């Protein structure tokens, strides 16, 4: 290797106040490291957030970190020595919430353009109608109304005009907007009633009584068929391999899959067996919380019995995931106070608070079963009502037996409250948050709720002050590409977001009192996320004995202008002492 050119952004700090070496046996004269990286700014993210000059690696582990002079003494005849010429080195980044198997194959049939407006949505529908036989379904997934210029669902009439001879579903998570043909095929008319005992409702025009086309938390009522090409298992594995490589390009070395199942776990395992796995995977096993408690317990038992429930540094089945409420992007998150009548979300009921899928007693039973059997439960909980309900369920279990060491989790936790945060601190509850939601959706949320109700929206500073451990994630669901993905999996944009709290299209920060430091932003994607997956003693910082998961970047994110952080480029990514990018 030839090293790197010096740059102002990567200049090494002038001096170290203390010369010291973290060391393993190599520092004591036993053997020699495979690699030494020196003349660097190595951000250890250790307990004291120390900055070092050099690092030695042997096999898949870091063996020493310290000043150039001391680490260079460890070099032997076969040690490969790399002069980084002042570049910054960070621990490999970790994403606490993603959905790689489905995201990887989302565009397998055809490329889906970005949609920024209702006009873009309708143009895509017309384009699909022109190539699909009459009667074929046209489905748009996860183009959120909060991110469209008009900030609303496309209307039934607009969908009808775009594709009168094709059933159309504009689906955003648990909610959807349908055209007339889709409603007809679903048997949904003015007299339709939900009779399966599950959540949701069909919105109807208050004057005519006819369905508006919007379904709340009940897209299950419509049976969509598709002639789109489906990937084979081999093609799915190859698409997943490519996506994990794309993660490596932005510095990710570990991810949490928040909807694992037997089929997708086997897909990861196949990549591992073929030595093609380039990210470490923490699996959260998905269960349907609407199922009878006996079936949920059986699913928990399957997860516990899975061979990969025993620790494996590459694939670990350790969590349990279910849905507790709807979403903030669709106007169905469960709130403590009514959402309010809204054109943005199509809400007409002034008392509407969103949708809660699991009542308190069953919620308590589910999380207690998981915790008692050693799994880390988490639930999709977005609204402040759902977040508090989940925190209260964990606190109730904590009265039965201590839960702190089991690290019960809350996924998303966008709308929080002092009461929920206090319970999290008290019981050791952790959370995975997605900063990109603040970036993408903050301006729409301000337009709907106003600033006061957003006081505890992603409150990173308050959480840190209360000692609550939270990690940064993406909730990546679709497409490959640093900035074209939904949701964006770029961790550098995530760091920039928590450092500025500036939503897209807005010059004003959203509650700047919740801004955190650069060091804390780095921890969100490193040691904090390692803690969320019980691996803080194995990764998340650059210390001897830990896995050699690290990245080399093109700028000093501790000193560069804050707006430059979002565009950070990763020069190299290493996982377990092996370079996986480029």
Can you read off the two tokens belonging to residue 67?
């000043």
DSSP code for 142: S
Q: What number of helices (H) and strands (E) belong to the chain?
A: 16, 24
**Residue 200: pLDDT band with limits 50, 70, 90:** confident
Note whether 173 and 475 are within 8 A (CB): no
The residue written with tokens 């050693």 in the block is 374
**What's the average model confidence in pLDDT over 330-343?**
91
Structure tokens at 419: 């009461």
Q: What is the pLDDT of residue 508?
A: 94
Question: Residue-wise over 38-77: b if at least 16 C-beta within 10 A, else e?
Answer: bbbbbbbbbeebbbbbbbbbbebbbbbbbbbebbbebbee
Strands 51-52 and 41-43: antiparallel
Q: Is the pLDDT of residue 187 over 60?
A: yes
pLDDT at 7 over 50: no
Q: Which of the four pLDDT bands, split at 50, 70 and 90, describes residue 277?
A: very high
User: Mean per-residue pLDDT for 64-73?
Assistant: 97
Closest CA to 188 of 229, 152, 163, 218: 218
Can you give the pLDDT at residue 23? 52
Peptide bond into 25 cis (omega under 30): no
- Give CATH for domain 113-221: 3.10.310.70
pLDDT tens by residue, 69-109: 999 999 999 999 999 999 999 999 999 999 999 999 999 99
Identify the residue whose tokens are 């940064």: 472
Q: How sure is the predictor about 476, in pLDDT bands with cuts at 50, 70 and 90? A: very high
Quote the CATH superfamily of domain 1-91+542-582. Urease, subunit C, domain 1 (2.30.40.10)
233-249 and 262-273 helices cross at what angle (nearest 10)? 70
**N-to-C CA span, the chain:** 13
Q: Per residue in 136-183, pLDDT tens? A: 999 998 888 888 999 889 999 999 999 999 999 999 877 899 999 999
Lowest model confidence (mean pLDDT) among 7-11, 207-211, 511-515, 576-580: 7-11
Enumerate long-range contacts of 424-428, CB under 8 Å, 24 or more apart: 424/391, 424/463, 424/466, 424/468, 425/466, 425/467, 425/468, 426/395, 426/398, 427/391, 427/394, 427/395, 427/398, 427/403, 428/403, 428/404
3-state SS assignment for residue 582: coil
Instruction: Tell me the pLDDT tens digit for each residue of 287-326.
Output: 999 999 999 999 999 999 999 999 999 999 999 999 999 9
Q: How many CB atoms lie within 10 A of CB 419?
A: 15
- Domain ranges (residues) in the chain: 1-91+542-582, 113-221, 233-539
Is a pLDDT exceeding 90 seen at residue 364? Answer: yes
Look at residues 280, 204, 218 and name the one whose alpha carbon lies nearest to residue 578. 280
Would the pLDDT of 2 be above 70?
no
Task: Locate the DSSP E strands across 92-141.
Answer: 93-98, 138-141
Which three-class secondary structure state does DSSP give residue 269? helix
What residues does 431 pair with on adjacent strands?
410, 470
pLDDT at site 429: 98
Q: Specify the pTM.
A: 0.90
Region class of 116: left (phi > 0), else alpha (psi between -120 and 50), else beta: alpha
Q: What CATH topology corresponds to 233-539? A: TIM Barrel (3.20.20)
At residue 282, the 3 state secondary structure works out as strand
Alpha-carbon distance of 373 to 462, in angstroms, equals 32
Average pLDDT of the chain is: 92
Q: How far is the C-alpha of 202 from the C-alpha of 221, rounded, in Å?
A: 10
Work out the pLDDT band at 26, boundaries 50, 70, 90.
very low
């Amino acid at each position: 290797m030839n090293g790197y050119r010096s740059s102002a952004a990567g200049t090494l700090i002038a001096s170290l106040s203390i010369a010291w070496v973290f060391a393993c046996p190599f520092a004591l004269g036993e053997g020699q490291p495979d690699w030494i990286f020196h003349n660097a700014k190595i951000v250890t993210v250790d307990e004291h957030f120390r900055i070092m000059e050099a690092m030695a690696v042997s096999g898949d582990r870091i063996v020493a970190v310290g000043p150039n002079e001391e680490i260079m003494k460890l070099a032997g005849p076969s040690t490969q020595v790399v002069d980084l010429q002042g570049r910054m080195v960070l621990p490999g980044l970790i994403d606490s919430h993603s959905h790689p198997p489905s995201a990887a194959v989302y565009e397998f049939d055809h490329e889906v353009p970005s949609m920024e407006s209702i006009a873009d949505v309708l143009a895509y529908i017309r384009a699909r109608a022109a190539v699909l036989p009459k009667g074929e379904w046209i489905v748009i997934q996860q183009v959120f109304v909060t991110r469209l210029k008009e900030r609303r669902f496309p209307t039934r009439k607009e969908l009808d005009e775009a594709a009168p001879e094709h059933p159309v579903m504009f689906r955003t998570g648990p909610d959807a907007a349908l055209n007339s043909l889709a409603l007809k095929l679903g048997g949904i008319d003015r007299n339709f009633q939900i009779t399966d005992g599950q959540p949701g409702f069909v919105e109807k025009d208050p004057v005519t009584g006819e369905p508006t086309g919007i379904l709340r938390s009940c897209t299950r009522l419509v049976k969509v068929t598709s002639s789109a090409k489906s990937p084979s298992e081999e093609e799915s594995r190859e698409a997943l391999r490519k996506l994990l490589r794309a993660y490596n390009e932005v510095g990710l070395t570990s991810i949490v899959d928040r909807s694992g199942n037997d089929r997708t776990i086997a897909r990861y395992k196949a990549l591992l067996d073929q030595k093609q796995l380039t990210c470490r995977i923490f699996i959260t096993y998905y269960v349907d919380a609407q199922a009878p408690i006996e079936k949920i317990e059986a699913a928990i038992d399957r997860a516990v019995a899975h061979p990969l429930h025993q620790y494996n540094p590459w694939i670990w089945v350790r969590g349990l995931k279910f849905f507790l409420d709807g979403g903030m992007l669709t106007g169905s998150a469960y709130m403590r106070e009514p959402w309010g009548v809204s054109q943005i979300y199509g809400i007409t009921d002034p008392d509407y608070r969103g949708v809660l899928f699991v009542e308190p007693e069953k919620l308590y039973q589910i999380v207690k079963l998981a915790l008692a059997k050693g799994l880390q439960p988490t639930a999709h909980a977005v609204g402040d009502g759902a977040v508090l309900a989940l925190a209260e369920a964990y606190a109730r279990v904590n009265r039965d037996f201590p839960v702190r060491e089991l690290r019960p989790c809350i996924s998303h936790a966008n709308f929080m409250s002092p009461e929920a945060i206090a319970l999290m601190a008290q019981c050791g509850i952790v959370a995975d948050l997605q900063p990109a939601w603040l970036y993408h959706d903050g301006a729409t949320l301000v337009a709907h709720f106003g600033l006061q109700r957003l006081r505890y929206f992603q409150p990173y500073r308050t959480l840190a002050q209360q000692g609550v451990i939270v990690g940064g994630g993406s909730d990546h669901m679709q497409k490959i590409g640093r900035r074209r993905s939904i949701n964006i999996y770029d961790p550098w944009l995530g760091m920039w977001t928590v450092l500025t709290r500036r939503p897209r299209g807005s010059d004003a920060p959203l509650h700047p009192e919740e801004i955190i430091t650069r060091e804390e932003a780095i921890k969100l994607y490193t040691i904090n996320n390692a803690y969320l997956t019980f691996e803080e003693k194995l990764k998340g910082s650059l210390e001897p004995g830990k896995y050699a998961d690290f990245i080399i970047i093109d700028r000093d994110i501790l000193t560069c202008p804050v707006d430059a952080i979002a565009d950070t480029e990763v020069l190299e990514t290493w996982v377990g002492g092996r370079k996986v990018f480029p």
